């Protein structure tokens, strides 16, 4: 006799068995992209008052070291 939660878990594992197996066999991950998305969301939250998308985009590029600041 097992609980309904355990039955649901077993059902889900059977349903997604091939996908679960694939995650163990492949070494691909989306962690890097998720990290970049998180940084963009933080910049969006902190820099709520940006009036220009150009400035917002540049801030993202600077934080990812894709755009260098010029010394004046």
Highest mean pLDDT among 11-20, 39-48, 60-69: 11-20
The whole-number pLDDT of residue 21 equals: 93
Per-residue burial over 44-67, b if 16 or more Cβ lie within 10 Å, else e, is eeeeeeeeeeeeeeebbeeeeeee
Kindly state the average pLDDT of the residues 53-71: 86
**Boundaries of every domain in the chain:** 4-64
Question: Would you say 63 and 43 are in contact if contact means Cβ atoms under 8 Å apart?
Answer: yes
Alpha-carbon gap, residue 20 to 18, rounded angstroms: 5
- Band (pLDDT 50/70/90 cuts) for residue 15 is very high
What pLDDT does 58 receive? 87
Given a contact cutoff of 8 angstroms between Cβ atoms, the answer to whether 64 and 39 are in contact is yes
């Amino acid at each position: 006799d097992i609980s309904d939660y355990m039955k649901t878990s077993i059902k889900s594992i059977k349903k997604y068995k091939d996908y679960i197996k694939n995650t163990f066999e492949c070494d691909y991950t989306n962690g890097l992209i998720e990290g970049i998305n998180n940084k963009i969301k933080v910049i969006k939250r902190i820099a709520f008052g940006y009036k220009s998308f150009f400035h917002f985009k540049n801030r993202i590029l600077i934080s990812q070291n894709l755009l260098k600041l010029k010394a004046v």
